[in-house]
């Protein structure tokens, strides 16, 4: 059985030698680079050193030409001495370099024939790709399919991952205080963000405002639109010729701008992704409001603190796309009561809502704003009834005549069901 195994081994060895004869040496003279990854060098070298210095390795996977076939090659091998690790790697590297040089010259490495010309991905004159790149990888330390973004399609703000990506980009713009517009123009936000942060005020709950009564108007200056707040503010500035516009924001009780960095879809998070609101409310001077809500929130009605953020730069539109020309909107942030967590009577919650909305409107007039943007205050993630909030607005704006203190009052209601309620009321 041992002799039969030897005969079989010799026969396979002769077949491998005849396969790579000297006639085919000119055609397969170069090394296949792809085969280098599959070579087991240790087995070939161990076999070579075990059988003697003048013998060739059994396996010829690392050299398709099998340089030990011809007598001339065997003589050259004997004269050069035994193959060591250094000489073996040097020969491999020489083969690789030779194949790379021929590949650069346009010669096929495998059959020494001229390879077909490669398709140019770039125009030689304009240096522009002939076809768009399908996708690019946003590196985040690991290879994840979630970070594959289409090069030409925009980020989808309707998905949580897209909102996270937009929030991170907006936070980076707030730190750099500049961005590149869609037309390639450099937009400087340094002065706007610096002045907004410098003039931000924390209004204490004890602050009260006295408004001189005005005569009721014969016409209504109240309108209801099915848009987001910043889009309504932009239309009010551009078409209504109102320069000082103020918006009322339902603030998160314990965190500046809530969970806007994690892709939340509340009204405040939308405002934070589209503007530099976070840079204003996250200052140390505003911590007192969030700390008081964090430690004194057993009833979940919270306090009457307000944050006045003047001239906040708005850098994105309602579709979360960058604006070519940003504009400024003043934002008043106050916290509504949480009906999901509160166990207080509805009458008490009604009084708290009425008091905070009244204070926010009075503060907007005291700061000499001639236009105000309102929404369904506390009806998204806080569970307040839209009809109750609409009734409070109607009482304050029409019965108490607070709408007469402004040139224009706009309700921006993106939800259709809530929009119909306000449309019927006003």
How many Å apart are CA 16 and CA 99, to the nearest integer?
Answer: 23
**330 or 19: whose pLDDT is higher?**
330
pLDDT band at 265 (very low <50, low <70, confident <90, very high): confident
- Return the pLDDT at 208: 84
Task: Choose among 264, 235, 260, 249: nearest CA to 174.
Answer: 260
| pLDDT greater than 70 at residue 330 | yes
pTM of the model: 0.64
Angle at 414 between CA 413 and CA 418, to 5 degrees: 55
Give the DSSP letter of residue 32.
Answer: P
Read off the pLDDT of each residue in 236-243 and give the average, rounded to a whole number.
Answer: 87
CB 315 within 8 A of CB 322: yes
DSSP secondary structure, 53-122, as one string: TTS--S--TT-TT-TTSSHHHHHHHHHH----HHHHHHHHHHHHHHHHHHHHTTB-TTTSSBPPPPPPSB
CB 189 within 8 A of CB 173: yes
**85 or 162: whose pLDDT is higher?**
162
Residue ranges and CATH numbers for the domains of the chain are 2-104 (no CATH), 160-425 (3.40.220.10)
- Return the pLDDT at 52: 47
Query: Hey, which residues does 229 pair with through a beta bridge?
Result: none
Show the beta-strand stretches assigned E in 198-335: 201-203, 222-225, 245-250, 306-316, 322-334
| pLDDT greater than 70 at residue 149 | no
| Proportion of the chain above pLDDT 90, given as a percent | 48
- Cα 401 to its chain centre, rounded Å, is 45
Give the DSSP letter of residue 44.
Answer: H
Contacts of 198 (CB under 8 A, 6+ apart): none
- Return the pLDDT at 43: 45
| pLDDT greater than 50 at residue 185 | yes
Q: Given the DSSP bridges, would you call strands 222-225 and 322-334 parallel, antiparallel or unpaired?
A: unpaired
| pLDDT greater than 70 at residue 249 | yes
Read off the pLDDT of each residue in 99-125 and give the average, rounded to a whole number.
Answer: 50
- Return the pLDDT at 286: 94
Q: Given the DSSP bridges, would you call strands 408-412 and 306-316 parallel, antiparallel or unpaired?
A: unpaired
Query: Hey, which residues does 248 pair with through a beta bridge?
Result: 332
- Return the pLDDT at 171: 94
- Return the pLDDT at 63: 47
Contacts of 177 (CB under 8 A, 6+ apart): 188, 189, 190, 193, 194
| pLDDT greater than 50 at residue 293 | yes
How many Å apart are CA 115 and CA 367, to the nearest integer?
Answer: 76
CB 105 within 8 A of CB 99: no
Show the beta-strand stretches assigned E in 104-170: 135-137, 148-150
Angle at 393 between CA 388 and CA 397, to 5 degrees: 155
| pLDDT greater than 60 at residue 253 | yes
Contacts of 183 (CB under 8 A, 6+ apart): 324
| Proportion of the chain above pLDDT 70, given as a percent | 65
> Cα dihedral angle (346, 348, 354, 356), rounded to 10 degrees?
-120
- Cα 396 to its chain centre, rounded Å, is 41
| pLDDT greater than 90 at residue 283 | yes
pLDDT band at 16 (very low <50, low <70, confident <90, very high): low
- pLDDT (tens digit per residue) in 41-64: 444 444 444 444 444 444 444 444
How many Å apart are CA 392 and CA 374, to the nearest integer?
Answer: 12
| pLDDT greater than 80 at residue 12 | no
Contacts of 134 (CB under 8 A, 6+ apart): 150, 151
Question: 3-class SS at 124?
Answer: coil
Residue with tokens 């009458």: 347
Structure tokens at 209: 């405002």
- Return the pLDDT at 370: 92
pLDDT band at 25 (very low <50, low <70, confident <90, very high): very low
* Residue 360 phi, psi (nearest 5): -65, -40
**15 or 258: whose pLDDT is higher?**
258
Question: From the CB of residue 303, how many other CB atoms can be counted at a distance below 10 Å?
Answer: 18
């Amino acid at each position: 059985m041992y002799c039969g195994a030897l005969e079989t081994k010799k026969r396979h060895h002769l077949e491998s030698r005849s396969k790579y004869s000297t006639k085919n040496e000119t055609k397969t003279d170069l090394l296949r680079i792809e085969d280098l990854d599959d070579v087991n060098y240790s087995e070939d070298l161990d076999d070579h050193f075990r059988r003697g210095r003048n013998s060739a390795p059994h396996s010829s996977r690392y050299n398709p030409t099998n340089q030990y076939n011809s007598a001339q090659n065997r003589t050259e091998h004997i004269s050069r001495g035994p193959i060591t690790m250094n000489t073996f790697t040097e020969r491999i590297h020489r083969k690789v370099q030779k194949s790379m040089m021929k590949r650069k010259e346009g010669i096929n490495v495998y059959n020494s024939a001229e390879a077909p010309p490669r398709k140019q991905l770039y125009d030689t004159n304009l240096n522009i790709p002939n076809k768009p790149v399908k996708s690019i990888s946003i590196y985040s330390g690991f290879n994840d399919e979630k970070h594959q973004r289409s090069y030409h399609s925009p980020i989808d703000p309707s998905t949580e991952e897209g909102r996270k990506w937009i929030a991170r980009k907006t936070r980076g713009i707030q730190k750099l205080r500049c961005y590149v517009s869609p037309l390639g123009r450099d937009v400087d936000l340094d002065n706007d963000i610096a002045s907004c942060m410098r003039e931000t005020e924390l209004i204490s709950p004890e602050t009260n405002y006295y408004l001189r009564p005005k005569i009721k108007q014969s016409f209504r200056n109240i309108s209801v639109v099915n848009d987001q707040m910043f889009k309504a503010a932009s239309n009010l500035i551009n078409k209504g010729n109102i320069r000082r516009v103020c918006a009322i924001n339902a603030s998160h009780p314990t965190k500046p701008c809530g969970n806007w960095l994690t892709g939340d879809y509340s009204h405040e998070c939308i405002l934070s992704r589209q503007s530099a609101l976070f840079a204003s409310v996250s200052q140390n001077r505003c911590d007192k409001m969030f700390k008081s809500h964090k430690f004194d929130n057993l009833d979940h009605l919270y306090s009457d603190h307000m944050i006045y953020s003047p001239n906040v730069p708005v850098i994105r539109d309602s579709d979360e796309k960058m604006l070519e020309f940003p504009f400024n909107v003043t934002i008043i942030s106050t916290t509504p009561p949480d009906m999901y967590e509160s166990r207080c009577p509805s009458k008490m919650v009604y009084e708290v809502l009425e008091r905070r909305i009244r204070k926010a409107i009075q503060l907007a007039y005291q700061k000499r704003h001639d236009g105000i943007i309102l929404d369904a205050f506390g009806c998204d993630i806080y569970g307040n009834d839209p009809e109750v909030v609409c009734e409070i607005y109607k009482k304050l704006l029409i019965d108490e005549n607070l709408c007469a203190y402004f040139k224009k009052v706009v309700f921006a209601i993106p939800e259709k069901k809530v929009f119909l309620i306000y449309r019927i009321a006003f």
